[in-house]
Amino acid sequence: MRLFDSARFVTSAAKLGQLPPPGLPEIAFAGRSNAGKSTTINVLTRQGQLAFASKTPGRTQLINFFRLTQKEDDVGFLVDLPGYGYSKASPDTRAQWADLIGGYLDKRPSLVGIVLVMDARRPFMPADDWLIDFFSDKTHVRQLWLLNKCDKLNRSERANTLRIARARAEKTGEHVSVQLFSGLKKEGAEKLTQTLLSWIDPEGRFSSPDRLLVKEV
């Protein structure tokens, strides 16, 4: 079994005071409403219904934690953050989301990386820029700008989108990487897996054949 296949839902938090105690490494997934955040988690874990993917923007309003295990030992967490930037949400609701997301990202010592899921057709919208700017001084936290829904782009559009994103990532810092991805087609799933595994397991403890990460089937 691959490490991320072991993911299981643990708890949800609607307020910062409801977050579980920090400790094991955490990888957070953030993005605009309906950018494909929950679908990305489902593809990564190969569990179609693990993270709730709603067709209604702004439906996911909680921070959801998914535990990763290795031979019954807890080794880390995947964290699904509420989608942000939904224009039809009330100002109070949007402020609450911003406080919840910003508070988690700013105060979470166990956060080792964040996957910013963006629609490859419309990347770097103002809400995305807000999060990127928020993290501008947190170079100890890895970032992956995941350009989802790349299956909707032709070859030329893909190349141009990737070029622009890589240029911006280079200016941001070496802790930022960029990748094209399609949750629908599962394109780029293995590359995503390897990137996140290097974050949560930099020593390669789970990469030997007799451990959790085995050859893909």
Question: Roughly what angle, to the nearest 10 degrees, separates helices 37-45 and 189-200?
Answer: 80
Instruction: Tell me whether residue 211 is in a domain.
Output: no
Which residues neighbour 72 within 8 Å (Cβ) at sequence distance 6 or greater?
none
Tell me which DSSP letter residue 95 carries.
Answer: H
Between vectors from CA 43 to CA 40 and to CA 48, what angle results, nearest 5°?
110
Q: Strand, helix or coil at 209?
A: coil
Supply the pTM of this predicted model. Answer: 0.89
Residue 214 lies in a domain: no
* Closest listed residue to residue 29, CA positions, set 101, 131, 140, 115: 115
Q: What average pLDDT score do residues 140-150 get?
A: 97
| 23, part of any domain | yes
> Is residue 190 in a domain?
yes
Across the beta sheet with 176-180, the strand order is 8-13, 63-70, 73-80, 26-31, 111-119, 142-148, 176-180
pLDDT tens across 81-90, in order?
988 765 455 6
pLDDT at 216: 38
pLDDT of residue 215: 36
Give the dihedral sign, CA 147/112/176/69: negative
Total structural domains within the chain? 1
Flag whether 165 is in a domain. yes
Q: Say if 217 falls within a structural domain.
A: no
Q: What's the rounded mean pLDDT across residues 187-211? A: 83
Position 143 pLDDT exceeds 70: yes
pLDDT value at residue 59: 47
Q: Could you tell me the residue range of the domain that residue 69 belongs to?
A: 3-200
Give the domain CATH number at 57.
3.40.50.300
Helix/strand/coil for 196 = helix
Which stretch of 68-77, 132-141, 162-171, 199-208 has the lowest confidence by average pLDDT? Answer: 199-208
